[in-house]
Amino acid sequence: MSKWKIAYSNVDGNTSVVTTEAEQKPDMERVAQIVRDDALEEYDDSEVPRDYDEPTVALLERHGITITGITEEG
């Protein structure tokens, strides 16, 4: 199983990195879910819904989080 580094930035321009394991490069929706879960641990999440009623990428964008890169650790 490969390790993947996912970089993302928030509305303040701060960059964070989360690592995940997967057989192949995760698709954007899965990456967005991983980033969302990581961000919920790090930031005030009082206004962020915990369900997946809408595409997660759109949810992140609405809250100012942008996925900036996905790379395989090697």
pLDDT digits (tens, 9 = 90+) for 24-56: 999 998 998 898 888 777 665 556 555 656 667
Indicate whether this model's pTM tops 0.85.
no
Identify the pLDDT of residue 51: 60
Q: Which of 71, 63, 61, 4 is nearest to 34 (CA)?
A: 4
For residues 11 and 43, the answer to whether their CB atoms sit within 8 Å is: no
Where does the pLDDT of residue 61 fall: very low under 50, low under 70, confident under 90, or very high at 90 and above?
confident
**What would the mean pLDDT of 11-34 be, rounded to a whole number?**
92
Q: Decide if 73 contacts 4 (C-beta within 8 A).
A: yes
